[in-house]
Amino acid sequence: MIWYSPLVPLLLGLAVLTVAAFMSRPRLAWIGLLFLLPAYGLMTPLGANLLTLLIEHRIKPAETQPVCDKVQAIVLLSGGLSRPAETPADYGALTPETLARLFAWRARDTRDSTESLPLVIAGGGPFRIPEAEVIGAFMHNLGPSGMSTTLETDSLNTRESALAVRKLLPDSSSRIALASSALHLPRAMLAFEQAGFEVCPWPLNRHYMAVTGWTTLFPYSSSLAKSESALHEIIGEIHYRVNVPDEIQERENQINQGE
């Protein structure tokens, strides 16, 4: 169980309610409800999609942002592997999230004129064969896009990807299009901006779904998973804002001194 799962406050609330009932303490029961009700809500389609919408709504359309003019490179972020890949061609190891990003990317790449821009596929991961290698092989198997592609294979998380890509790209390539899921982009944009990039967001796939009907108030495992993903992004972004690595802090100090 991951500690930021809605299951944690749900179980805590149930425990407090049990103690309150045993000790006949009505005030304590209210405290248990404060834990239980929000946690239950995040396990329903209604609560999970509202939380997801709050995050995804922060990504504005690219055409409304000046930073999206004249981007110099594109960075495509991995969505992970579900297990160690046996070979770079072991496409079954790609997670549904990664596949959703890749198919959305190919659809966008087909209609957008991006062939002249360099592409960096970013994602190392904990396994022997990096995520970027499997993604690169899969995209090539779908049909070469004609773009100059570089693989970033050393990072273990989004912040490490941002710092690694900054080292891969020349200093002149500071304005990038960052392609990932809309749910992941707010945290990813922060990481890449801290690494010294101007970021144009390219949301590839969205997790929010409009829901209606009384069944949206029932808990589902899919809603629990969606809420866990959303909470992961919220807590991860807070961590990125509070804990800034020395490498990033030194760069910001140099920029401020230059001004």
Q: How confident is the model at residue 144 (pLDDT cuts 50, 70, 90)?
A: low
Rounded to two decimals, what is the model's pTM?
0.89
Mean pLDDT of 102-113: 76
Contact between 176 and 72 under an 8 Å Cβ cutoff? The reply is yes
Q: Tell me if 135 is assigned to some domain.
A: yes
CATH number of the domain that residue 121 is part of: 3.40.50
**Which residue(s) pair with 244 in the sheet?**
none
Nearest to 97 by CA among 129, 135, 42: 135
pLDDT at 216 > cutoff 70: yes
Q: Tell me if 29 is assigned to some domain.
A: no
Give the number of domains in the chain.
1
Average pLDDT, the chain: 90
Q: Tell me if 10 is assigned to some domain.
A: no
Q: Tell me if 231 is assigned to some domain.
A: no
Nearest to 153 by CA among 179, 178, 123: 123
**pLDDT tens digits along 17-50:** 999 988 888 889 999 999 999 999 999 999 999 9
Q: Which domain holds residue 244?
A: 61-208+237-258
